[in-house]
């Protein structure tokens, strides 16, 4: 069994180990730069690495053809969000199961995603597409206030903000249009989505699709920073069946995945539970980042990467092991008041590492470096991962981490 992985980054770098466990041969196509750099422990698990200069479809397609001629491929999976369209195109060309290229474009474009859901009668926020400052400003009158403005094809809450009036939409549009920091060779363009603000708790469903049938393994509760931004500052992950209302979520996500054409492989679906029920914010045809995929295995005993590969390759899904913990979580250290400034110390960091349940930690922005003036994934200073025996304990532990660590100027 030969698996091709396109541009593995973040959780996509779990695929080589999952393939090794399943006895599959792996070929990775990647630039090997920036977010796509492969750590040595990941490289050691890959049978064949093919480096490309860019992730453009012509170059990746030509490389994939050569690989397939040398050793036929049985499945192709996307290693991150931006690789979804090219992966779909390659799968179609090689004749293996995967997302239809047209559906891949819909899944990547938030406006097309919402339009298809509306057309099928599946609950989704009202929205307007805008390609100019004036169009964005006018959109608020159509969808109502408060509303949300966001790029049509970004990730990590980059450029996403709540708007309570016309001025907010203008400022939001200008900031998105002027964004210059690329993420995986991508930049927000001048096309934005202005959509209805969904009131309710935010979650994400982590699962996979096999033969068109969606399975949700776990549900992630989001802990967000202060609005008008939606920076994700923490996650609490539980087995799906342990989350109240999971039946309605499963039914709704089955409608969503079928409507959007997801028929095999991993998905990560962010939604809010509104008065009308679960309502999709967006869905990705890939595993979640932020270490969520690892936490899914912690609480379910089943590797989402293995389950997704098995589904894509059409082989039996492995049986789950005994879960390592009932609940898993992650806390991101942030300090919005210091955006654009430097800090000197993470006070309480060492003490926090000794708290019972803390399993790992990393500092992303060392003391002395500027904190990006963006309330999204780029301004997270560090993170701590933890496990707990129950949901209440997990909430308390994250609160203890929040209170224990302070960012000192």
DSSP states of 265-330: EEEEEEEEEETTEEEEEEEESS--TTTHHHHHHHHHSS-HHHHHHHHHHT-PPPPP---S-SEEEE
Q: pLDDT confidence of 87, banded at 50, 70, 90? A: very high
pLDDT at 185: 67
The vertex-165 CA angle with 161 and 166, nearest 5°, equals: 95
In terms of CATH, what superfamily is 126-196?
ATP-grasp fold, A domain (3.30.1490.20)
| Of residues 191 and 407, more confidently modeled | 407
What is the tens place of the pLDDT at every residue in 265-313? 999 999 999 999 999 999 999 999 999 999 999 999 999 999 999 999 9
What is the tens place of the pLDDT at every residue in 323-364? 999 999 999 999 999 989 999 999 999 999 999 999 999 999
Q: Give mean pLDDT, residues 35-46.
A: 96
If one counts every other C-beta atom within 10 angstroms of the C-beta of residue 364, the result is 14
Q: Which of 104, 169, 185 is nearest to 136 (CA)?
A: 169
- Give percent above pLDDT 90 in the chain: 92
Beta-strand pair 213-224/232-239: antiparallel
pLDDT at 234: 97
pTM of the full structure: 0.95
Q: Where are the domains of the chain?
A: 2-105, 126-196, 201-408
What is the tens place of the pLDDT at every residue in 108-146? 999 999 999 999 999 999 999 999 999 999 999 999 999
What is the tens place of the pLDDT at every residue in 164-181? 999 999 999 999 988 776
CA dihedral 168, 171, 174, 180 (to 10 degrees): -110
- Indicate if 201-408 has the same CATH topology as 2-105: no
What is the tens place of the pLDDT at every residue in 134-143? 999 999 999 9
Q: Give mean pLDDT, residues 231-259.
A: 98
Architecture in CATH of 201-408: 2-Layer Sandwich (3.30)
**Which two structure tokens, joined as six digits, stand for 248?**
């309605």
Domain 2-105 fold:
Rossmann fold (3.40.50)
Q: pLDDT confidence of 2, banded at 50, 70, 90? A: very high
């Amino acid at each position: 069994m030969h698996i091709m992985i396109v541009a593995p980054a973040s959780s996509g770098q779990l695929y080589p180990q999952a393939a090794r466990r399943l006895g599959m041969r792996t070929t990775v196509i990647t630039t090997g730069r920036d977010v796509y750099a492969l750590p040595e422990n990941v490289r050691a698990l890959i049978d064949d690495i093919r480096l490309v200069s860019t992730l453009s479809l012509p170059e990746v397609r030509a490389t994939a053809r050569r690989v397939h001629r040398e050793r036929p491929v049985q499945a192709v999976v996307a290693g991150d969000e931006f690789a979804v369209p090219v992966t779909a195109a390659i799968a179609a060309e090689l004749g293996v199961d995967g997302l239809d290229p047209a559906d891949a474009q819909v899944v990547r474009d938030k406006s097309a995603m919402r339009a298809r859901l509306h057309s099928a009668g599946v609950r989704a926020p009202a929205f307007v597409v805008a390609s100019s400052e004036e169009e964005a400003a006018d959109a608020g009158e159509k969808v109502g206030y408060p509303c949300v403005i966001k790029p049509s094809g970004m990730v990590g809450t980059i450029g996403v903000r709540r708007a309570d009036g016309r001025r907010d939409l203008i400022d939001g549009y200008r900031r998105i249009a002027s964004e210059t920091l690329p993420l995986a060779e991508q930049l927000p363009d001048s096309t934005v989505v202005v959509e209805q603000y969904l009131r309710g708790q935010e979650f994400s469903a982590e699962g996979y699709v096999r033969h068109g049938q969606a399975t949700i393994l776990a549900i992630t509760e989001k802990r967000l920073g202060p609005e008008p931004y939606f920076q994700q500052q923490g996650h609490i992950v539980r087995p799906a069946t342990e989350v109240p209302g999971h039946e309605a979520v499963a039914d709704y996500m089955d409608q969503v995945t079928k409507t959007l054409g997801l028929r095999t492989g991993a998905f990560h679906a962010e939604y809010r539970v509104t008065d009308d029920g679960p309502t999709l914010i967006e869905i990705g045809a890939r595993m979640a980042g932020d270490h969520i995929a690892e936490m899914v295995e912690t609480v379910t005993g089943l590797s989402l990467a293995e389950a997704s590969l098995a589904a894509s390759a059409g082989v039996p899904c492995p049986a789950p092991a005994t879960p390592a913990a009932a609940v898993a979580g992650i806390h991101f250290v942030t300090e919005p008041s210091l955006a654009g400034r430097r800090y000197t110390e993470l006070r309480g960091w060492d003490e926090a590492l000794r708290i019972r349940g803390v399993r790992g930690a990393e500092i992303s922005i060392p003391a002395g470096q500027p904190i990006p003036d963006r309330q999204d994934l780029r301004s997270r200073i560090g993170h701590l991962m933890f496990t707990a025996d129950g949901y209440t304990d997990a909430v308390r532990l994250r609160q203890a981490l929040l209170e224990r660590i302070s960012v000192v100027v």
